[in-house]
Amino acid sequence: MDIQSVGVVGAGQMGSGIAHVFAVAGYDVLMTDISRESLANAGAVIEANLGRQLARGKIDEATRDAALKRISTTMTLSDLGKTDLIIEAATERETVKVAIFEDLVPHLKPETILTSNTSSISITRLASRTDRPEKFMGFHFMNPVPVMQLVELIRGIATDDETYKALKEVVEKLGKTAASAEDFPAFIVNRILMPMINEAVYTLYEGVGSVSSIDSAMKLGTNHPMGPLELADFIGLDTCLAIMNVLHDGLADTKYRPCPLLTKYVEAGWLGRKTQRGFYDYRGETPVPTR
């Protein structure tokens, strides 16, 4: 299938990043969200990030201008039905994603491919709630999308070869690298990453180290660019908890039990950078550890 137009559901951090890279690669992008403010903010973020790439010599002015012209927005979900490929990048809650796909299905072209940017939820289960499980895949981008080179491709039990090959070609056209993952909870990256973050929170919870000592130890001791608690704040503590719950529920192994302290931070609404407080307090000039 020749994919030329892409619909993106969700104008948050991931949705705006996905729209950005597809527009730069020459695809026409239609982005939707339930919030007009989110759509406006996404446009500003994309323009700023394209400007940053221009300043660094990653793209030229013509590429930036053309990319901005390729992106349009709508608050009507059904408008995405005319696109060739749809990428759902809504919040990491299965009920929300299922509702989006059920609302989309009556408006789709027969050949439209459906995908989810979910970081952990069963692709097979999401696909089963649509009219085209053979044309449904997991299409998991890493954050921040314009910078990170990896895309996880996850086939559901019914995904056909044609759909997989089409999306693999799309990843290549984006200038990124595809990693194929089986449809098991959290796939590859988060299956490995989230338990590490959860263990860092346990290390804090048990008083083995402070926020700053844990992050410094991992940055300097293992050469990680960000400490695990700093990274958790960047991802969003609610997202981290949601993925740990998917792992715990899906694999029924106590080693995936979310740390009670992680749950407590989420209950407090301290979700990381997006709420200005998480394991660090971001309300001042420099982040300050909260424990």
190 is catalytic: yes
Q: What is the DSSP string of 21-67?
A: HHHHTT-EEEEE-S-HHHHHHHHHHHHHHHHHHHHTTSS-HHHHHHH
88 is catalytic: no
- Among candidate residues 38, 117, 190, 198, the one labeled active-site is 190
d(CA 189, CA 154) in angstroms, rounded, equals 12
Does the annotation count 152 as an active-site position?
Answer: yes
What radius of gyration, in Å, describes the C-alpha atoms of the chain? Answer: 19
- Within the chain, all domains assigned CATH 3.40.50.720 are found at 5-181
Q: Could you tell me the two tokens for 72?
A: 């349009």
Helix (H) or strand (E) holding 251: helix 237-251
Which strand (E) or helix (H) includes residue 201? helix 189-205
Check: CB of residue 136 under 8 Å from CB of residue 12. no
Catalytic residue among 88, 116, 122, 140: 140
CATH fold of 5-181 reads Rossmann fold (3.40.50)
Question: Is the distance from CB of 72 to CB of 29 less than 8 angstroms?
Answer: yes
For residues 80 and 82, what is the distance between their CA atoms, to the nearest angstrom? 5
**Active-site hit among 88, 152, 198, 230:** 152
CATH 1.10.1040.10, the chain: domain bounds: 191-289
Look at residue 44 in the predicted model and tell me its pLDDT. Answer: 96
Catalytic entry in 119, 120, 122, 198: 119
Integer Cα distance of 228 and 212 in angstroms? 10
DSSP for 258-277, please give it.
PPHHHHHHHHTT--BGGGTB
CA distance 228 to 199: 9
Looking at the domain that runs over 191-289, which CATH code has it been given? Answer: 1.10.1040.10
pLDDT tens, the chain, 291 aa long:
789 999 999 999 999 999 999 999 999 999 999 999 999 999 999 999 999 999 999 999 999 999 999 999 999 999 999 999 999 999 889 999 999 999 999 999 999 999 999 998 999 999 999 999 999 999 999 999 999 999 999 999 999 999 999 999 999 999 999 999 999 999 999 999 999 999 999 999 999 999 999 999 999 999 999 999 999 999 999 999 999 999 999 999 999 999 999 999 999 999 999 999 999 999 999 999 999
Backbone angles phi, psi at 22, to 5 degrees: -70, -40
pTM comes to: 0.90
The verdict on whether 213 is a catalytic residue reads no
Tokens found for residue 7: 């619909």
Residue at token pair 């290549």:
172
